[in-house]
Structure 1
Amino acid sequence: MAFYFRLCALAFAVLWSVASPLYLVQGNGCDFSLGDWVLDESHYPLYDASRDCPFIGHGFNCLRNGRPDQDYLKYRWKPSGCDLPRFDGVKFLEKYRGKKIMFVGDSISNNMWQSLTCLLHIAVPKLSYALSTPTKHLSVFSIPEFDASIMWLKNGFLVDVAHDKEKGRIVKLDSIKSGYMWKGDVLIFNTYHWWTHSKESETVQFQIGNEIIKNMDHMEAYKIGLTTWSKWIDANIDPSKTKILFQGIAASHSEGKRCLKETQPEQGPQPPYPGVEIVKNILSNMSCPVYLLDITFLTQLRIDGHPSIYTGKGTSYEDCSHWCLAGAPDAWNQILYAVLLGL
């Protein structure tokens, strides 16, 4: 373990060339997390979900599911201090030729993973691709010409979960046994969505050691679970071989007025979002360098970007948590592109 801590310290100083293991600002001094959504009809959307990305999940293809307005497809994220580089799929594939990139997280990770697969496929539309599910929770998109694989491993809590017939779901806040599956040249983690699900919250229980805690505050549980993850990363990941990123909290609009019939982004300052400070504090105390893809503010503004009733499940179901594709997750991957290519 001490060996990895020494490697982390080296990576802390060299790999990312910044002063803290929590990276929010690029070398050019631009904070990608702050800015505005700008209508850009000349360059957006970056792809046609039905024509250019035939494998996209049905629930994310809002246009195919009957959404009548289309401006939500045409907004570009404009950081306050710079321009976000336009995604170049060929450059991305060249950079990660022979490499593996793995998203580990919940359905919001799936949203981002599907966006990235679409952006890469449209960059090289004539090249063959493969889409497979080797296991129940693992999805793999690959382009053999580049020997590149983009994977999504479904894992909503990151820590271990047990299912008891009598007690229901038990989240083990101090245990990670699935980490052996976290393999790639780039690992992009995410957890938050499942911790706040109302339906999940009704049945979930938390465990520390041998003690099961029935009425723990879910944000306190989130803090403990994420701390367990951070310690696992510090002890087990070699940062000279693997880059670690944390996909920040994507804002939901499931409370209040919800997202139905919203056709334009919000504007102006937004209130603090639950869980964000927990994430930042934990990442800032890690030994290994972790880049925070801080997408909270830009998603708080995109109340128009959710599938709403256009998920293909009928008008009685309104989804104000996930995101239409094309749409907001493409900006998350533009930030990812800028970070991984050092732009």
Structure 2
Amino acid sequence: MGKDHHQPYSFAKKLLPWTLYTILPIAIFRLYFYPLQLPQSATDQLPLNTPIILTSFSSSSPPPFSSSLSQEEERADETPCDYTNGNWVHDKMGPLYNGTTCGTIKEGQNCITHGRPDFDYLYWRWQPKECKLPRFDPNIFLELLSNKHLAFVGDSMARNQLESLLCILSTVSTPNLVYRNGEDNKFRKWNFASHNVNISVYWSPFLVNGIEKSNSLNYNKLYLDRIDEKWGADLEHMDMLVLSVGHWFLHPAVYFEGDSVLGCHYCPELNHTEIGFYGVLRKALKTTLKTILERRGSSNNNLDVFVTTFSPAHFEGEWDKAGACPKIKPYKEGEKVLEGMDAEMRNLEVEEVDLAKENAKQLKRLRLEALDVSKLSLMRPDGHPGPYMLPNPFANGIKERVQNDCVHWCLPGPVDTWNQILLQIIKRWEGQSWRGE
């Protein structure tokens, strides 16, 4: 009985070494040809398209760099991409949001609701030649701006870009309008409660102090030596600033510096020296950026400043004489060149940003960048409201004259690409910031 009790044990003891001798070569063979991949972090085990939602952080302690970025994007972020050099390519994915349900689009840019019959203008994306421009991820944008205030300041192009961004973000989070003031919603503020992100718009078509023309005043009055305090007074409460300026400088105006008249643009009824608007725009932008540097230079909070460059109009003919923008396709590379006034306006804006960046080098908490959208916008003559700035303009047949808007952009439309590039620059900056570069 005792002898039988020990037989299975003896057999197992003899079998075990032979089992190990058999398994060990197989294991070595497996590891040699198929090395074991160990995850670097928990996020590596998630699907690539899984959004990572961060909990709230204070504005003085931003969230770590978002792990939602792919390794390919992170490598691309190390070298800034030239987003100005590229082509519009057809994109079957279509727009980033539904313009008919967005709810924040200015009526004049809501081309679909106003009956625009063609939809091909919605199916193009900008493809830089030297890198990829990823599709806008609203979750990443909200993560990076958690507990921050982004302000769009400037003319109606600033509002156009703002409303594009609100529509994109609305696809994942609901914006709550928390402030509204001024005629035609010129001053508004929204809060995205999901990430405590505040986004506001300030109407300031010159950035500097100015008095707009009216029924009793045939020209604008600009004071080039001081900024417009309608937005300047709130500068200390802003974490990110997007400036847009240019088109209003084409209008008749008298220019002041202090109490002295420098001259005027297109005011023959006044006894003032005629001066061009290029130098005036440069002086206004210089005053704006210099004031930002001075006021935020001693601040302990970070401030990121973008200047969206001049966006060309596409009138065929004079804007006030039945000028229209009838094209329904983008220009191809080389078909249209940035030149003349469009190039002058863009170039001086980029130059002033570059000068301000040099002056800001000693300010560690302030970054500046030109959001250079002039060329890619030039190549989209099909993206404007045209006659569809008004509801169903041809409902009663073709009219001899219909007012066209060939300055602003349909929403959805090419202006969405401006915000795609904006996000890429923010991601690159955040990546550098938290890597200690």
Displacement of 1:247 in angstroms is 1.0
CA distance in 1 between counterparts of 2:224 and 2:411 reads: 33
Given the alignment, which residue of 216, 221, 228 partners 2:287?
Answer: 228
Given the alignment, which residue of 110, 116, 141 partners 2:190?
Answer: 141
Measured against aligned partners, the alpha-carbon deviations of 1:100-157 in whole angstroms (never above 9, x if no partner) come to: 1111111001110000001100123xxx431244332311122112211111111100
Q: Secondary structure at the match of 2:255?
A: strand
Displacement of 1:332 in angstroms is 0.4
**Equivalent residues of 2:338, 2:378 under 8 A apart:** no
Number of the residue aligned with 1:11: none
Number of the residue aligned with 1:248: 309
Q: Mark the CA change 1:300 to 1:26 in structure 2 (over 3 Å): closer, same or farther.
A: farther
Number of the residue aligned with 1:4: none
CA distance in 1 between counterparts of 2:157 and 2:425 reads: 20
Given the alignment, which residue of 353, 358, 371 partners 1:283?
Answer: 353
Confirm whether residue 181 of structure 1 aligns to residue 240 of structure 2.
no
CA distance in 2 between counterparts of 1:262 and 1:229 reads: 36
Number of the residue aligned with 1:3: none
Number of the residue aligned with 1:319: 405
Displacement of 1:256 in angstroms is 4.2
Number of the residue aligned with 1:267: 332
After TM superposition, the structure 1 = structure 2 runs for residues 1-343 of structure 1, keeping only pairs within 5 Å, are: 27-41=78-92, 43-51=93-101, 53-124=102-173, 128-136=174-182, 137-162=186-211, 168-178=219-229, 179-182=232-235, 183-196=237-250, 200-201=251-252, 204-212=253-261, 213-214=263-264, 215-238=274-297, 241-254=302-315, 256=317, 259-269=324-334, 270-272=337-339, 273-286=343-356, 287-288=359-360, 289-312=367-390, 314=393, 316-342=402-428
Unaligned ranges ≥5, structure 1: 1-24
**Runs of 4+ with deviation above 6 angstroms:** none
Instruction: Name the aligned partner's letter for residue 47 of structure 1.
Output: Y
CA distance in 2 between counterparts of 1:67 and 1:187 reads: 33
Measured against aligned partners, the alpha-carbon deviations of 1:251-299 in whole angstroms (never above 9, x if no partner) come to: 1113548653210011223132231221122111111231111000000
CA distance in 2 between counterparts of 1:166 and 1:62 reads: 33
**Equivalent residues of 2:207, 2:228 under 8 A apart:** no
State the identity as a percent: 28
**Equivalent residues of 2:166, 2:175 under 8 A apart:** no
Q: Mark the CA change 1:271 to 1:96 in structure 2 (over 3 Å): closer, same or farther.
A: closer
Number of the residue aligned with 1:7: none
Instruction: Name the aligned partner's letter for residue 100 of structure 2.
Output: S
**Equivalent residues of 2:208, 2:225 under 8 A apart:** yes
The alignment's TM-score, normalised by the length of structure 2, stands at: 0.67
**Equivalent residues of 1:206, 1:216 under 8 A apart:** no
**Equivalent residues of 1:88, 1:123 under 8 A apart:** no
Displacement of 1:229 in angstroms is 1.2
Q: Secondary structure at the match of 2:98?
A: coil
Displacement of 1:59 in angstroms is 0.9
Q: Mark the CA change 1:249 to 1:177 in structure 2 (over 3 Å): closer, same or farther.
A: closer
Instruction: Name the aligned partner's letter for residue 45 of structure 1.
Output: P
CA distance in 1 between counterparts of 2:293 and 2:191 reads: 29
CA distance in 2 between counterparts of 1:321 and 1:67 reads: 17
Q: Mark the CA change 1:88 to 1:163 in structure 2 (over 3 Å): closer, same or farther.
A: closer
CA distance in 1 between counterparts of 2:412 and 2:192 reads: 21
Q: Mark the CA change 1:163 to 1:36 in structure 2 (over 3 Å): closer, same or farther.
A: closer
Q: Mark the CA change 1:167 to 1:322 in structure 2 (over 3 Å): closer, same or farther.
A: closer
CA distance in 1 between counterparts of 2:406 and 2:143 reads: 36
Bigger radius of gyration: 2
CA distance in 1 between counterparts of 2:159 and 2:217 reads: 30
CA distance in 1 between counterparts of 2:247 and 2:212 reads: 19
**Equivalent residues of 1:307, 1:324 under 8 A apart:** yes
CA distance in 2 between counterparts of 1:47 and 1:254 reads: 27
Instruction: Name the aligned partner's letter for residue 291 of structure 2.
Output: W
**Equivalent residues of 1:94, 1:146 under 8 A apart:** yes
Displacement of 1:163 in angstroms is 5.8
Q: Secondary structure at the match of 2:132?
A: coil
**Equivalent residues of 1:259, 1:303 under 8 A apart:** no
Q: Mark the CA change 1:122 to 1:321 in structure 2 (over 3 Å): closer, same or farther.
A: same
CA distance in 1 between counterparts of 2:373 and 2:279 reads: 22
CA distance in 1 between counterparts of 2:285 and 2:307 reads: 11
Question: Alpha carbon RMSD of aligned pairs, Å?
Answer: 2.1
Q: Secondary structure at the match of 1:37?
A: strand
